[in-house]
Amino acid sequence: MKHKMWSRLLSMALAVMMITSIVPNSAFAEAASEITNSTSQVQVEATPVEENDVTQDEVIVPEEETPTVEAPVESVEPTAEPTAEPTAEPTQAPEATAVPSEQPSAEPTAAPEATEAPNASAQPSETPAPSESPAPSASPLPSETPAPTETPAATEEPAIDGQALLDELMAIEDDEAFMKAVNELTEEQVAALEALGEDALADYTLRVESLTAPEETVELNAEAKEFTTAVEGVDGVTVTVKVPEGALPVDAELKATMIDQSSEEYAKAEEALADENLNEQPAEYDGMVALDIRFEVGGQEVEPLKEVEVSIDAQALLPEDADPETVAVQHLKEDVTGEVVAVETVADATEETGEVTIEAAPAEETALNVASTFAVDGFSKFTITWESTRLDKEVELSIVDSSGNPIPNSPDANHPLGNFTIFGGGSDVYYIEKILKDDGIYQFDANGETYIFQRARVYDGSNIPHPVDSFQIVYNVTSYMIRFYDMVYGGETGFWTDNGTSDKKKIELVYRTESETDSDDIYTKTDLVRTKKVTKSAGDDQYTLELGVSGAVGSITSPVKMDIVFVIDKSASMEGSWWLGDNKTQLVEESVRTLVNQLENNNMIDPKYSMVYFGEDLINRDDRKHYRDAITAVQWTDNAESIISAAGVEATSGNTNYQAGLVDVRSLLIESRNNAQKYVIFVSDGVPNRYYDQNGDTASGNSNQVMDAAIQEASKITNLNGFFTIRVGNEKGADDVLTSICEAAYKEGANLANFKNYPAENATELAEAFKEIEGNITYLLCDHVVVTDTLSQYVDQVDDPVLKITDATGADVTAKEKGGIASVKCENGTLTVDFVDEYQLKQGYTYTVTMQIKASDQAYKEYAEKGASAYNGTGQPGTGDYAGDNGFYTNGTATVKYQYNEQDQENSFLQPVIQVHPGELKITKKIDGDILSDAAKLGALKANLKFKVTLNDEDPFELKLTGDPDRDGVYTIIDSRLKNLKPGTTYTIEEIDFGVDGYECETKIGGRVKTEASGTISASQTDKVAFTNTYTAQDGELTFTKTLDKLCDGDTMALFTVEIKNTETGEIYYKTLKFNASTFDDTFTITLPVGEYQIRELSNLGYTNGEIKQNGATLGTNGDYYNFKITPGGKTKLTVENTANNNNSSKIDKDTAVNRFTKDNDGWTWKRQ
């Protein structure tokens, strides 16, 4: 609540005397007397009241302390009776307000004419000095003097509605009219107001005080003045206020405080901004701060008398992405209670309000200067709001094919979809793939081909391409620019930022054709790959047998693409002597030279190479502040000499960071060719001892940390045909890490044999390792191909085999190729595909023979006898629906024979299995609820409960629970009649004999309440019928009977209390038994939950407690208590006999207090005996 700088004075003598003179014996009179005494020394300024001429340099403010009396004032003798006229000079009236007569009367006294104020030297003679003398008649104090007869007695109720009168007075807006009405109040009206009480009259009293208080002058600023203060609670924010002359006291101070965002004040400010009734200009905003700006004098808030100009330096308050053009300042106007009554926008970017000034910041700063200037006529809370930056940046798309060549007729820079404009502040991240999909260029048709987006890339300062997947606008020192996030370098440090000199940035978008393999996927080797699988057909127990074979891809006319990354350790140890002085780096260079030359001489292969060095801190460029332990020494190239030379570069790094090398490998593989086989050859001489932390900075750690970092990085690679590691030297501890990296890089679809570590402890072993790698990545063409599959006794042929040939795109080329190239037949249980001897399996072609088979009678017979134990094998990986499962083998042997370089070769196919598919019925039973703790009844239930089963409308048979339940309390009904059921068999299962006395049972089947289930058996399905019985114990009943031999002498009645305690839950029950002269027994019955209980009688004076019995036998005891049980649905009866002993002298019996109550004219009285 804001306080005026003339906050209420401490004195109100005149007005109080007026009220006191009307009601001398009232509470008002007493208060008036106190206030009169405390203010009797107030000195009055000489300024005449009638003129009311406050100068511009002065303003009247309340006195905070009573001034010292300058001269004594003579006492005025009181008159014996109140007179109609005052006996002294009238008190100086405020303004022109009339003073009422001191003489109470039935009629209101007419207001006197305005009295001329005395001169400046005059003392108000009617105000007595503090003394022992009685108060003058002009201001009578409460005394023993009887009130005038017209004054109503204190006990009378006021005939006037005091609240209505108060409301009428407070509704008078004009202060002069208000005081006139106050002065004219009658005695009865004053009494009616007094009856409302002090709280109800608080505002009324305050108003009277403020209008009748003496005044003092305050000196105002004679000249215009500028105030500046730092805002408390935040650094770097200042508020400046320019004040015209005569607007504030000379000692006023400017204060400003930041309002905490977690405070209630801040929440109220938010609510006010959103309230359309308060805020005529509501607007959306992304951020807000709130300030409390005010002037203070002596710790009290004051308001300026004139409009002032306010400036807020808002820059430190605004976040980096705040748009200065949207900054606005709002003034939250408050009433005297501190509630916001209006929200006024005092500054924004429009011309109708104050100004928000935007200036360029000094060069060393990182943002614009933003200041708000506005005028206000009052202070309270201010808010500053803004929206996030909406900067426009154009990104140019450059569309190329997988080889980096422009695609004719593609959406290029001149196409409407070729460019897009991004909007948003630093928090908005844009994902390239989503933008392309939204703009309709994720896939497009051109030149008779369908092109699909593959990846995006930008080039760093060294013209090295980096795959990126997203970007955002960021603020960088002096300007906003686009930051591209690398797909490989993780976290907030993995990015590439433009130089900020242009609003347009190019992204190269790489597209593949529909026939090309996604570069993220493994390009399956097309050497002599063999597949065999069995999949279930639509018919019961019928399968499709499929055998496939494909030859090695690669020929003189169409060599196979092969991309190889060499990853070379450049730590210092690689320069050490090895093998009788041979340098490791030199020997690695020779091995690389040998392999590359072999590949270059193979005219069926189209190789490309790249090379990565790894160690520690290999990069010193300014544009790479993180991820510095590896460098791409050679980008993808077909220049054999450049890759060989790079392998021989001297090692200089001190430590070893496997992960760093693998990070750069990932980046290169993303940039590798589509439809290329991809291999990594990783060479190191030692265990890694460095890794990257989450920010891309080099970190040292324990062996597990560095190993895990490398392994995890390798596991992110998804598109390799082979990953070979070579440990050079004798540090055998590196083998485990290198092997683990190979395993992590392996993904399904690749040949596991090509993910291998080679220990090379001498030059010979190094050369042999490279030679074996060469053999693994080189593919062979073959001819004289014959595929043979001999069926087992467990399957029968259903139809004739069919050969299908597809090309690399999956297109069926059977009609084109089939003529005369192979014979296909199945005779005497042997399937044969015999290719013409001279026919070579073609590049990218797959030859697949299919035939329908089914489970034989022998399979059904053995299964019926032995069940699943009749199965004779397990399906091998990749062999169809039952790979990894037990079943009957479909064949004894299956092979492919072929020749390469006139050498006969033979490879075996994997063995699939089939399964027969009889149905099965499984019945389970779960018993739950309270009965689990009742062993006797649970045992009886298990013995009696049965299921009636009917199959195919045949005679029903009954099954009982057997065995023990599993860990979840579930019983399984075991019976051979429920197994090996023929598909189509119908069944009905009904539960019988499941009721238990004392328990309520709810039966559910599959979650639904019912007691019978039915269904039909399906092939290879197990129908599960799950019964769940939940038993809830019914409450038991206790009947307690008490008998007295008689009442004690003098008693006309007796009350006895029985305490019953559940020893398991601690719950206590109390029951009362009542006896009189004609009734000597009483009984109560109570329903109790099942459980263990204790019971006792609370002692009564004059009676001896008897033993509590059940069926004539005394219950067991535990101290004062007798023990008994409540069983499910049980009825327990207890009895006790008490005798009167006429002994009433005991005050207390054990732990029970006896209470006596008596009643008289004052009510009930309790006395503890």
Q: Determine the pLDDT at residue 1070.
A: 92
Q: Determine the pLDDT at residue 80.
A: 39
DSSP code, position 1141:
-
Class of domain 1036-1168: mainly beta
> Domain 529-550+784-914 belongs to what topology?
Immunoglobulin-like (2.60.40)
Cα gap 1082→1099, rounded to integer Å: 16
Which residues of the chain does CATH 2.60.220 include? 222-386
Angle between helix 187-194 and 27-39 (nearest 10): 90
Cβ pair 246, 225 in contact under 8 A: no
505, 591, 634, 1034 from 647: Cα distances, Å = 35, 9, 10, 86
Which residues of the chain does CATH 3.40.50.410 include? 560-777
State the DSSP H helix or E strand holding residue 710, giving kind and residue range, or none if neither: helix 703-715
Cα gap 2→303, rounded to integer Å: 8
Number of H helices, E strands in the chain: 17, 69
Cβ pair 259, 382 in contact under 8 A: no
**Can you say how many angstroms the Cα of residue 474 is from the centroid of all Cα atoms in its chain?**
26
Give alpha helix (H) positions in 220-378: 264-274
> Who contacts 340 (Cβ-Cβ below 8 Å, separation ≥6)?
268, 269, 272, 278, 332, 333, 334, 381
Q: Determine how β-strand 449-459 pairs with β-strand 504-513.
A: antiparallel
Cα gap 793→873, rounded to integer Å: 13
CA angle 944, 950, 954 (to 5 degrees): 130
Task: Return the number of other C-beta atoms located less than 10 Å from residue 130's C-beta.
Answer: 13
Q: Determine the pLDDT at residue 481.
A: 64
Buried b (16+ CB within 10 A) or exposed e, 1050-1067: ebeebebebbbbbeeeee
pLDDT averaged per 10 residues in sequence order, the chain, 1169 residues? 34 35 39 39 37 39 40 39 40 39 40 39 39 37 40 52 91 90 91 89 87 77 91 88 91 91 86 87 78 90 88 75 79 86 82 55 45 76 78 70 85 47 55 83 89 84 76 56 73 56 66 83 69 83 89 60 94 67 82 93 87 85 72 92 91 85 91 90 92 87 90 92 92 91 90 89 91 80 89 93 89 81 92 92 84 86 84 92 94 86 77 89 92 89 92 90 88 87 83 90 91 87 92 92 88 88 92 89 92 86 84 83 91 90 54 56 59
Give alpha helix (H) positions in 746-813: 763-777
Answer whether CATH 3.40.50.410 is correct for domain 560-777: yes
Cα gap 467→509, rounded to integer Å: 10
Task: Specify the pTM.
Answer: 0.41
Beta bridge partners of 1023: 921
Cβ pair 904, 895 in contact under 8 A: no
Cβ pair 504, 396 in contact under 8 A: yes
Q: Determine the pLDDT at residue 554.
A: 52
> Domain 920-1033 belongs to what topology?
Immunoglobulin-like (2.60.40)
Residue 1162 has φ and ψ, to the nearest 5°, of -90, 0
| Side chain identity at residue 715, one-letter code | S
Cβ pair 1132, 1038 in contact under 8 A: yes
Give alpha helix (H) positions in 275-386: none
Domain 222-386 carries which CATH code? 2.60.220
222: left (phi over 0), alpha (psi -120 to 50) or beta: alpha
Which residues of the chain does CATH 2.60.40.740 include? 529-550+784-914
What is the per-residue DSSP string for 546-606? EEEEEPPP--SSSPEEEEEEEEEE-BGGGGSEETTTEEHHHHHHHHHHHHHHHHHH-TTEE
191, 243, 334, 344 from 374: Cα distances, Å = 52, 12, 18, 11
Cβ pair 750, 721 in contact under 8 A: yes
